[in-house]
Structure 1
Amino acid sequence: MKTQKTILSLALIAGLSFSLIACGEKKQEDHTMGSEDHNAMSESMDNMDKGMDMSGPATKTDLIDEYLEIKTALGNNSKEEAAKAATKLAEYAKTISFDQLTDEKKSEVSSILEVIQEHSEHIAKSEMDHQIEHFEAMGKDFTDLLAIVGSDRKLYQQQCPMYNKNEGGIWLSDSEEIKNPLFAGKMKTCGAVKQVIEIG
């Protein structure tokens, strides 16, 4: 009888030990998987940060690129893409410098860039109709800016006479083809080229 109890006790101890070992291995496995998932997530976040890296001095190419991105986004009725480009444009307008200009021109450019930054910040956080209002107003400021600092590409100032209850509205494009951004994807061909901005 005592022998049977001893055997039974040993069997219980062995079974319990096996369960604890298996549980420990499972916990270790779970922890390892969690660590791998965490590493993968960290790597993904790092890649996202690299993709949005805006370090280094901004250039007028950066300004024009993001302006045109906003134009395209509004023409495609994409509030989100317009906001994304406007966020970048606001940052570029804040950090760019034109050291080669005279003090008088620097002051003038600085004032224009402040207005462009303000328009961009509104576009970044507004609904589509308000985005379009600020984009149209910013077209005039961009034209004034490029008249001073020059453009890195040929641009076309285009105008739609029907915008804002027939008061008209302007925008800049890198294509002579009319793709009107002022009606959120509608009336895309309404407009005409009013001015050509040459490289300079």
Structure 2
Amino acid sequence: MKLILIINNLKIKTMKIAVIGLLTIGALTLSACTENKEKTSNTTMQHDMNGMKEGETMEDMSMNANMTVVDATKSSANLDDLTLNYMQLTAALADDDGGKAASAAKNMVQSLAKIDQSNFAAEQKKEYADIAAELKEHAEHIAENAGNIEHQREHLDLLSADFYDLVKDFGASKPVYKVFCPMYNESKGAFWLSSSKEVKNPYYGKEMLTCGEVQEEIK
């Protein structure tokens, strides 16, 4: 009888040891899984950080419709030629040169057609298409009216408003200044964009070359 009791006690102890062992193994497995997940998360974040350019922050990166990373700094660089053409246009009108203004406007139309939109997010593409259509219309008017500088200036007023939206939404690789002329359009005023704080008024040219003030710096 005693022998049976001893055997039963051994069985109970063996079962307790087995249960404790299983619980220990389960806890170790759960800990290992959690650790692996943390390592994977850290590795993914490190990979994303390594893909950024020197001096770039996460705020400089945006997500496109397919959730792939888009480098926002490339958008402004993509518009450099168009911006240069616009600056040439305003400079020509400030010099009262309708011929050079027409040539610069024609170059703007050509630059618009060459813009690489592959780096734009889906929403950016739609926004750019709307602005580009307006820019093209006004640039074509200026290009076709080399002998009518007042008509060119009227369309510069409208074109500048669209170009301002473009630079604000897509950025500029170099600082751009918004300059306001309070006298133009029967004292309603109009603005243009400049690569310099120096005022050279494209709406009045040599008649009132320095009429205007810098209202905003866009970076």
TM band (smaller chain): 0.5 to 0.7
Tell me what 2:174 maps to: 153
Q: Which of the numbers 96, 99, 104 marks the counterpart of 1:77? A: 96
RMSD value, Cα: 1.3
Tell me what 1:32 maps to: none
Instruction: Check the 8 A contact 1:69/1:82 in 2, yes or no.
Output: yes
Q: Which of the numbers 159, 163, 172 marks the counterpart of 2:193? A: 172
Tell me what 2:84 maps to: 65
SS at match of 1:152: coil
Tell me what 2:142 maps to: 123
Tell me what 1:186 maps to: 207
Please say which structure displays the higher CA radius of gyration: 2
Distance 1:184 1:177 in 2: 14
Distance 1:69 1:185 in 2: 16
Distance 2:206 2:134 in 1: 26
The answer as to 2:127 corresponding to 1:108 is yes
Tell me what 1:23 maps to: none
Mapping 1:14-93, distance limit 5 Å: 59-93=78-112
Distance 1:186 1:102 in 2: 44
Deviations 1:151-196 (A, max 9, x none): 0111100000010000000000011011111013320111101111
Deviations 1:71-99 (A, max 9, x none): 00000000000001111101111231322
**Sequence identity, in percent?**
36
Worse overlay, 77-86 or 178-187: 178-187
- TM-score for both structures, normalised by structure 2: 0.62
The answer as to 2:115 corresponding to 1:96 is yes
The answer as to 2:175 corresponding to 1:134 is no
Q: Which runs of 5+ in 1 are unaligned?
A: 1-57
Instruction: Check the 8 A contact 1:74/1:185 in 2, yes or no.
Output: no
- TM-score for both structures, normalised by structure 1: 0.68
Deviations 1:134-165 (A, max 9, x none): 11111111111112211011110000001000
Q: Which runs of 4+ in 1 moved over 4 A?
A: none
